[in-house]
Amino acid sequence: MSQNQTNSLPLPGSERNLPPKAQLVGPCSPTALITVTLYLRARNQEELQQRLQQLPQSQSYLTPNQFAERYGADPADLDQVSNFAQRHGLQVVETDPARRSVRLSGSIAAMQSAFGVQLHEYRHQGSTYRLHQGPVYLSSELHGIVTSVFGLDNRPQADAHFRLLPSAAVSQQSFNPTDLARLYNFPTSATGQGETIGIIELGGGYQQTDLDAYFRQLGVTPAPQVTAVSVDGGQNGPTGNANSADGEVELDIEVAGAVAPGAKQKIFFAPNSDQGFIDAVTSAIHDAEVTLISISWGQAESNFTTQSLTAFNQAFQEAGTMGKTVFVAAGDNGSSDGETDGKNHVDFPSSSPFAVACGGTTLQASSGNSSIVSETVWNEQSQGEGATGGGVSDFFPKPDYQSQANVPPPQTQGGGRGVPDVAGDADPVTGYNVLVDGAKSVVGGTSAVAPLYAGLFALINELLVKQGKPRAGDVHRALYQNPQAFRDITSGNNGAFSAAPGWDATTGLGSPNGIQIADALTGSQTQRA
């Protein structure tokens, strides 16, 4: 801690450890400029907590503007942060009262002094990153005002959960997303008109020529309207390599667009860091157009700071107050989630109890794709093709909607939230036909399942709105109360956990029967086209 931080206290949950095998390069250049994001407390916090506890029963949703007016950042708190920045030679580059965020820019030296950290460059897995160890420190006047600080450390925070089928591998049976919509009985009397799916991307990009060709080939006309949104300098930057993050971006857009062509899409591009990830998520949630959110990126819970876990969870909870549903891929590395400590791990942010965690299956269909022949837990780890994530959170307690689910005991006293909630086809061997960087590819991964469900709920939201009802919002309670709306997967495992009748820690409630889910949520029989 620097000398002028003697009146400072550590920000709870901000502690960072070095990644295994990280090699010290040296101190960061003191004159280099960086940008950090501070998140602040909400106004009317007790009232906000009461509102959050009443969801979704109240179904009295707020617009983003109404949310900002009641629960945005207090102007006095923003002034405190501004005064702090001025004293430390930092510049306020953006203030967003609705998101309760302030972005500050300044030199490494000024940031180290302001937040009591030492920033060093480390080499890890072939790249160099700016890292710090231990907590971030806050001066006394910011304690209780600032809840989290992101961006001092810029290590990659998440992995894309897609799996490109290797050219040498043989696909048993691949599907167009429209095939899966038919097999999963999605409503055909809606297109997602009036909905906007916000998709979070932490790298890569899409080419409009790919999207136009793909949707034209599927007979999806007109093609969905897709718009790129820049967050923290992130850009739509296709690399030309289908096995890069481009594979993630175009998979997400093409799956959601094929099953809900009437829904608009906003793609939020941000750098792959804790700062970029949370800023993209809060930008999407507070975007007045966005009604659903799809996230196909994540990493084991243990790789996130407590302030990150808390900030994402709070953001997803607040999405519920605005009637927005968040779908997140549950991971592609089985019950260990790719960690090598011999323990089970769940993937975050799918483990947030306010996100719908999307697991994966292996799907076999009849010739002509008219019916499902078999569906089992996706586990191709013996062939190097991954397996669905799933298990029990070590951080989030079991939510009340899982009180009747047979969730295994957690490894830690504070944990208990079971993952995933739902599932769908994710095995690259029975994967999705997509077009990435001009090449036809077969892609799997739980990455595909999040946009598949986002597309389904765009259709359901359209049906709800047509009936004069509010959008689905936080759907967990409704889903768990209607297990008959899912195809129960009872065969297979993801390593430590096995499928069983009812909810399990491999495929959750199972794969969707779209019309039955729609009927359960709309309270009426969905009109067949």
Residues labelled catalytic? 248, 252, 447
Per-residue exposure over 194-214, b if at least 16 CB sit within 10 Å of its own CB, e if not: bbbbbbbbbbbbbbeebbeeb
Sign of CA dihedral 464, 465, 470, 475: positive
What distance, in Å, lies between the first and last C-alpha atoms of the chain?
Answer: 66
Distance (Å, whole) CA 246 – CA 253: 11
Q: CB 354: neighbour CB atoms within 10 A? A: 23
**Are the C-beta atoms of residues 115 and 34 closer than 8 Å to each other?**
no
The total number of residues written for the chain in this structure: 529
Judged by DSSP in three states, 507 sits in coil
Distance (Å, whole) CA 189 – CA 126: 50
Work out the burial of residue 247: count CB atoms within 10 Å of its CB; fewer than 13 is exposed, 13-18 middle, 19 or more buried: buried
User: DSSP letter string over 132-145?
Assistant: --B--EEEGGGTTT
Query: On the CB side of 473, how many CA atoms lie within 13 Å of its CA?
Result: 23
Q: State the amino acid at position 143 in one-letter form.
A: H
Strand order of the β-sheet with 163-164 is: 163-164, 439-444, 432-436
Distance (Å, whole) CA 149 – CA 331: 26
H-helix segments, 106-147: 108-115
**Are the C-beta atoms of residues 239 and 205 closer than 8 Å to each other?**
yes
Nearest to 333 by CA among 301, 379, 302, 297: 379
**Are the C-beta atoms of residues 294 and 198 closer than 8 Å to each other?**
yes
Nearest to 415 by CA among 440, 436, 433, 392: 392
Q: CB 521: neighbour CB atoms within 10 A? A: 22
Distance (Å, whole) CA 198 – CA 264: 9
Distance (Å, whole) CA 298 – CA 520: 30
Distance (Å, whole) CA 84 – CA 103: 13
